[in-house]
Every structure is written in structure tokens, then in C-alpha cells.
């Protein structure tokens, strides 16, 4: 069966051709901010990461879907990305763990795909011009173009309220208790915490008073989508908690903690999206290969109350901060890293140690 022709148009007028796959919306058009991910595997974890809300994911690896999907690898109950761009979408799966073809999974979750695209050309364009809003689809080319020119990016957008859990839930057990803010939390993050402690995951709009009522030993700030500058209410809550309880933040949680400590954030040209970014721990000199997924970063020299703990060796972006007096730290990258690499999972142990130290000081 021949796939319908499809067109991809970016807001700057650049156009690409391909074929419609996955879910076919009745309008024939899908819009979003186009970014690229350089991971060689883990496409299911990438697609189901809530941090991609509002975005269309371009995979630089040319062959996607060859090992199918399994519910065990979902990072959320559903994908939150707007769409997917691939060079070749595999029609066959070959893996003993898989339970479904990737395309069937995308159809079931109503995620449109454009395949057959020259993803090398598209990636080079996004590297040169930055992440761009745009549109793709099997509708008339004029409709796709009109939608592309009207599309907006993630600047100033709060997608956290859209992806956050509506009700609190508890995972894990142990003598330590942590409250985790769900700004778009990945399942692997919850699992890593729950292996070490009891975790109460709460909605993103939970107040500082409600957190304190749960009497946690510490607070965890999760990853999430959108512009951190649009989350003033969340920053205020974190600011109220800083200094009263140990805090560990990842990705968006890192940006929000830094903002609560007086820093500012800015948008990177095309973001960091992949599983092969070298990061240096400045305290030990150790270099970690890390998974990353973010479009925003903490501005250099804007940290009056914290020190830089980690840096990206590709471009010098701040990858971690620490404030010893306030008993808090955070990293921009993803130490939980499903499916990998796992170089940075020691940070969960560091959080455990910080919590136990704080408990000893109380006693």
C-alpha cells in the first residue's frame, strides 16, 4: 500500500517532501516546534518523554522502529510530542521484548509521522537556524504552508500544566520520604527514586504548605516541557522551600531551582537532544557521557547563591549547580537515562546521602 504524499514546511519557508505515516489527522496538518534527537536507540523512550510537549521530533538515526515497542519502556502513559519525522519507518519489528510495531503504537496514540524525509538536510538546517516552528502533513501544500507560517514555538509557553499528574500517588518504600514535583516526570526517574526511598509524586501546582504537610525528608524537581521563564508560580514555591529541606532537580527542575536561587535562563539555538553529550563534574574532573533533552539553559554568571558543578564539554553550557548552604543541587542532563547511558546515576545516591545527612542533623 502506497503512503500518501506529505510535505514539511518550516516557518522560514524551507520545505521538505516525504510520505504520511502514523496517525493521519482529519485536518491533514500537524504543527509544532521542530527539534532533532541524535540518539541511536531508545526511540520509544524519546517519543514518550513529556518534555517534548509542543514539539515535533526529528530522528537523525535513519532507521526507526526496527525493534518495535513494549509498555515496559514507556516514560509516560502517552506521548506528548506533536509528531515525528524519520528517514525510514520500519514496518517490521524484531525483538523478543516487543509487543507492537512502532507505527501501530503511534496510530493508537494519535501521533502523526512524516517518513521518507531527508533528515540529514533537515537537521543541518535546524543546526544552522535553530529550532523552528513549522507544520507537516498530507493536506494541500498551501494548507501546510499557511499552518507553518502561523505556528509558534515553545517560547513563553507553559506545557507543564498539560502534562502533570492530576492526583498525587506514592511509589517505593523505605525510611526516607521524598516529595517529587511532576512537571512532566519520566517513569525511569520515579523508578530510580523508588528503588531508594518512598516517593510521593505531586501535581506541579502543589503549594509549599501542602508539601510541608507531607513532612518529607527532601524534595525532587522533575524534568518537563516548555519555557522555564513561564513558570513563575512554580519558582515561587521552590523559593519558599529552598533552605528548609534538601532539594534535587533534573532538567526543567534544574532550571527552576536555579531561577529560585536568583539565576536567569535563555533558549539555546537548537537545544541538546541525544544520548552522547560529554559532561564534566568539576569537583572530581570525571567526564560522564549523558542523555539530554532541553531547549533552555541557565545563563552563565547569573548564579548569586550557587556554584557551577558540571559543564557541557561540547559548548560550555552549565550542566549542574550546587548550593551547599541551602542543601540543594541540580543537573541539566538526565542521570536516570532510560535507556542509557548510566554514567550519572550516582547522583541519586548523592541525593540519598544528602537526605540522610539532613536527617542526622535534625536528630
For 189-224, write each residue's pLDDT tens digit: 999 999 999 999 999 999 999 999 999 999 999 999
The sheet with strand 177-182 has its strands ordered as: 169-171, 198-203, 177-182, 218-221, 247-250, 328-331, 318-323, 307-312, 265-281, 287-298
What pLDDT, on a 0 to 100 scale, did the predictor assign at position 301? 85
Kindly tell me if the per-residue pLDDT of 175 is higher than 80.
yes
The pTM (predicted TM-score) of the whole model is 0.96
Residues with a known catalytic role: 251, 334, 336
Domains, the chain, ordered by start: 5-150 (3.50.30.20), 164-362 (3.40.50.880)
CB burial class (10 A; 0-12, 13-18, 19+) of residue 58?
buried
Question: Measured between alpha carbons, how far is residue 345 from residues 5, 169, 289 in Å?
Answer: 44, 23, 11
What pLDDT, on a 0 to 100 scale, did the predictor assign at position 1? 67
pLDDT > 90: percent of the chain = 95
Residues 23-74 have pLDDT tens digits of 999 999 999 999 999 999 999 999 999 999 999 999 999 999 999 999 999 9
Question: Measured between alpha carbons, how far is residue 360 from residues 36, 176, 355 in Å?
Answer: 45, 12, 9
360 pLDDT band (50/70/90 cuts)? low
Beta strands in 188-286 (DSSP E): 198-203, 218-221, 247-250, 265-281
pLDDT > 70: percent of the chain = 98
Q: Per 3-state DSSP, what percentage of the chain is helix, strand, and coil (rounded to 5)?
A: 25, 30, 40
Amino acid at each position: 500500500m502506497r503512503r500518501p504524499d506529505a510535505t514539511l514546511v518550516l516557518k522560514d519557508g524551507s520545505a521538505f517532501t516525504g510520505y504520511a505515516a502514523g496517525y493521519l489527522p482529519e485536518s491533514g496538518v500537524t504543527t509544532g516546534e521542530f527539534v532533532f534527537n541524535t540518539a541511536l536507540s531508545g526511540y520509544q523512550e524519546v517519543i514518550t518523554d513529556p518534555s517534548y510537549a509542543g514539539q515535533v521530533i526529528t530522528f537523525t538515526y535513519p532507521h526507526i522502529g526496527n525493534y518495535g515497542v513494549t509498555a515496559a519502556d514507556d516514560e509516560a502513559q502517552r506521548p506528548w510530542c506533536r509528531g515525528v519525522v524519520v528517514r525510514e519507518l520500519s514496518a517490521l519489528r524484531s525483538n523478543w521484548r516487543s509487543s507492537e510495531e512502532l507505527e501501530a503504537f503511534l496510530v493508537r496514540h494519535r501521533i502523526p509521522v512524516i517518513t521518507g524525509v531527508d533528515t540529514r538536510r533537515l537537521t543541518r538546517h535546524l543546526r544552522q537556524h535553530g529550532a523552528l516552528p513549522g507544520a507537516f502533513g498530507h493536506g494541500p501544500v498551501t494548507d501546510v504552508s499557511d499552518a507553518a507560517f502561523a505556528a509558534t514555538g515553545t517560547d513563553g509557553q507553559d506545557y507543564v500544566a498539560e502534562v502533570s499528574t492530576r492526583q498525587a500517588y506514592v511509589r517505593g518504600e523505605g525510611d526516607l520520604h521524598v516529595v517529587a514535583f511532576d512537571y512532566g516526570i519520566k517513569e525511569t526517574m520515579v523508578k530510580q527514586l523508588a528503588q531508594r526511598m518512598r516517593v510521593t509524586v505531586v501535581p506541579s501546582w502543589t503549594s509549599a504548605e501542602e508539601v510541608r504537610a507531607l513532612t518529607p525528608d527532601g524534595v525532587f524537581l522533575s524534568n518537563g516541557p516548555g519555557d522555564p521563564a513561564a513558570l513563575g508560580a512554580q519558582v515561587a514555591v521552590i523559593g519558599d522551600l529552598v533552605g528548609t529541606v534538601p532539594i534535587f532537580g533534573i532538567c526543567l527542575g534544574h532550571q527552576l531551582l536555579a531561577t529560585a536561587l536568583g539565576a536567569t535562563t535563555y533558549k539555546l539555538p537548537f537545544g541538546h537532544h541525544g544520548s552522547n553529550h560529554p559532561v564534566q563534574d568539576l569537583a572530581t574532573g570525571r567526564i560522564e557521557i549523558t542523555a539530554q533533552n532541553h531547549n533552555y539553559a541557565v545563563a552563565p554568571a547569573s548564579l548569586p547563591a550557587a556554584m557551577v558543578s558540571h559543564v557541557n564539554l561540547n559548548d560550555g553550557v552549565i550542566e549542574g549547580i550546587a548550593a551547599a548552604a541551602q542543601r540543594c543541587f541540580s543537573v541539566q542532563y538526565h542521570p536516570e537515562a532510560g535507556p542509557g547511558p548510566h554514567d550519572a546515576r550516582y547522583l541519586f545516591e548523592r541525593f540519598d546521602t544528602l537526605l540522610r545527612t539532613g536527617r542526622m542533623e535534625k536528630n
